[in-house]
Amino acid sequence: MKLTPVMEKYVLHWGEMGSRWGVNRTVAQIHALLYLAGKPLTADEIAETLGVARSNVSTSLKELQSWGLVKLLHVKGDRRDHFEALSDLWDTFFAIAENRKRRELDPTLTVLRECVLDGNEDESGPEVQRRIEAVAKFLERLLSWYDQIRRLPRPALIKLLDLGAKIEKLLGSKS
């Protein structure tokens, strides 16, 4: 698959952003490529297009699949695996958010709770304990909000987004 200048720019930038977000550059590039391609590609095509080792593509695809961002499928009359990215951006967004939450936020919350529990038999005065509890509470609040928002039907989500700060009026009147 040949990349046009714009496609290349998009793919390269996505890779760059990926590495800032703790995502392997190649993984991000592959995801970008699959998203743009809009049709299933084989691992070989990907490797050739991006100029990376075949083995690297294999590993990256596995990771993308584990994140649920890429699906494996087969094309009739072809033995090779083909790969395709999610096309819906909201699905993509939540897939990423969900994974990051699970890998980063959830463990943090666990540790924070442990810290709160251990607080009693620790010499770090009440002030420190209060601070740690505050962080725990803050994270819990944020996560529980996210969990609820995530389940909203798509139209409600969009409405909420488009409403923006005007939400303030609604809040004021109702609660």
Partner DNA sequence: CTTATCTTTCTGTTAAGACTGAAATATCAG
Partner DNA sequence: CTGATATTTCAGTCTTAACAGAAAGATAAG
99 binds, among DNA, a second copy, none (CB under 5 to 8 A by kind): none
Site for a second copy in 53-92 (CB under 8 A): 87, 89
The values of phi and psi at residue 12, to 5°, are -65, -45
Q: Is 127 in the site for a second copy (CB under 8 A)?
A: yes
Q: Is 97 in the site for a second copy (CB under 8 A)?
A: no
Q: Is 126 in the site for a second copy (CB under 8 A)?
A: no
Give the C-alpha separation, 89 to 73, whole Å: 20
**Closest to 51 in 3D by CA, of 85, 25, 82, 73:** 25
Q: Pick between residue 77 and residue 126 the one whose CB is nearest to a second copy.
A: 126
Q: How far is the CB of 23 from a second copy (least distance, A)?
A: 10
Count of positions (residues) in the chain:
175
Q: How far is the CB of 63 from a second copy (least distance, A)?
A: 15
76 binds, among a second copy, DNA, none (CB under 5 to 8 A by kind): none
Give the C-alpha separation, 56 to 17, whole Å: 19
Residue among 1, 8, 12, 25 that touches DNA (CB under 7 A): 25
Q: Going residue by residue from 54 to 83, which x/- string records binding to DNA, judged by CB under 7 A?
A: xxx-xxxxx---------------xxxx--
Considering CB under 7 A, how many residues would be counted as binding DNA? 22
